[in-house]
Amino acid sequence: MEDPIFLFYYKCILCILLCSLVNAFTLKDEQNLHTTLLSGYNSNLHPGMNRSVPLNVSISFHLSYLKEFQEYSGKFSVNGFFIMNWLDDRLKWDPNSYDELLDTRFPQDILWIPNLVNSNPFEKIFGLGSKLISVEVSSSGNCKWIPYQSFNVICDVDVTKYPFDTQQCAINFFLWGYKDKEVDIQFTSSIVGFNHYKHHGIWDVFKSETQKRLSPDGYSEIIIKLWLKRRNAYYISNLIIPMFSISLLMGFAFLLPLVSGERVGFITTVSLSYIVFLTIVLGKLPESSEPSSAIICYILMIFVMNGSISTALVIVGLRMHEAPRDKPVPNLLKKIVSFNYRSSKIEISSEVAPSNTKTNGFTEAVEENISWADIAKLFDKLCLIFSTIECVLLIIVYFCLVL
């Protein structure tokens, strides 16, 4: 009696050998097939026996890498590939005549392929694929072409909300030489494939769209749209926080003691730091002002102008502090200081009125004793308050506009 385990393994090995013999075609079989199929084949004529019916080409796009996006030049570079399928009746064969040869491959330059040409290139016009890429053909005449390529295109940049901006870039292709009634290209999916995508360090692709559009002349235009969102953690920590932190220091120049003699130097240093920030930002942004310049540039320009105004105010305050005691003080300034004294009980450098003087009356004797030093103290206080309020308001307005 035979061992059942031995019979089981014997049958398994026999099945494996039979399966391996199914596709036991040779190199000569494939060479004969290529010779037969390419005999009389004209790659300049698109497939389809009935010319009144358009050739259907299914297409999908898959993104691999986002190489770079240069805001100042508008250059948008990605790596990706198309998957295209169509039926070419001229490439059909009977697998039984070639030892069950079910599929083969041809270089793309000897077969007809959809002639897609990039219509918004950054440098020069280019088509898809290369001599290194082949077309996979099955015995039923189905052709599958997967051209992998690097695409460098022009993208209109909108840096209004930089560095919290989002960008929309498109890669456009025309089916050159064939109208829609001859070759009908249809996307198999309305979005881009991301199965092979590797994340970029600066940009996130948060939305995609694929669409076909007909030109007025009846030619098909293939459009691949990508929406990008900037990863802004780096910019927040290295640009936004330092910029607004320095802006808060602007008003503190009016708190520096006069004896230090550093007021003008301090405010000038702060103003120059804004010019440095503005230079850095402008070096990364395009010169075009359409659709709008970056909001951060306007904020920096306001800070630069504030630095100039604050420098002038510091000089004016110093002049008040150093004014001669015998120089008369205008009555309007005396009234302002006296009103501030009644409301906030601020000390004045002059001799205060007698103890029986009522605050709400604030006698003429006290007003007469107000000097330019008292005016300068109030002037410094007001400059500090206005500078701080303005800085806080600019911060609030900026984030309301960009977020």
Q: Please state which of the ranges 70-74, 85-89, 273-277, 353-357 shows the lowest mean pLDDT.
A: 353-357
Find residue 270's DSSP bridge partners: none
What are the residue ranges spanned by the domains of the chain?
21-230, 234-329+371-402
Above pLDDT 90, what percent of the chain? 43
Domain 234-329+371-402: give its CATH code.
1.20.58
Within 13 Å, how many C-alpha atoms sit on residue 191's CB side? 8
Predicted confidence at residue 17, as pLDDT, reads 47
Compute the distance between CA of residue 44 and CA of residue 40 in angstroms, rounded to an integer: 12
Distance between start and end Cα atoms, the chain: 84
pLDDT at 278 over 70: yes
| CA 37 to each of CA 29, 33, 91, 96, 104: distance values in angstroms, whole numbers, following the listed order | 12, 6, 6, 15, 11
* Residues 222/212, Cβ–Cβ less than 8 Å: yes
3 state SS for 99-153: CCCCEEEEEHHHCCCCCEEECCECCCCCECCCCCCEEEEECCCEEEECCEEEEEE
* Residues 166/228, Cβ–Cβ less than 8 Å: yes
Average pLDDT of the residues in 255-266: 82
Average pLDDT of the residues in 158-187: 91
Strands 55-70 and 183-187: parallel
CATH 2.70.170.10 fits 21-230, yes or no: yes
- Average pLDDT over all residues of the chain: 84
When comparing pLDDT for 193 and 257, which is higher?
193
Predicted confidence at residue 353, as pLDDT, reads 45
* Residues 76/152, Cβ–Cβ less than 8 Å: yes
Band (354; pLDDT cuts 50, 70, 90): very low
Compute the distance between CA of residue 376 and CA of residue 9 in angstroms, rounded to an integer: 105
pLDDT at 71 over 50: yes
pLDDT at 196 over 70: yes
Quick one: tokens of 216? 């007025």
Sign of CA dihedral 256, 262, 267, 273: negative
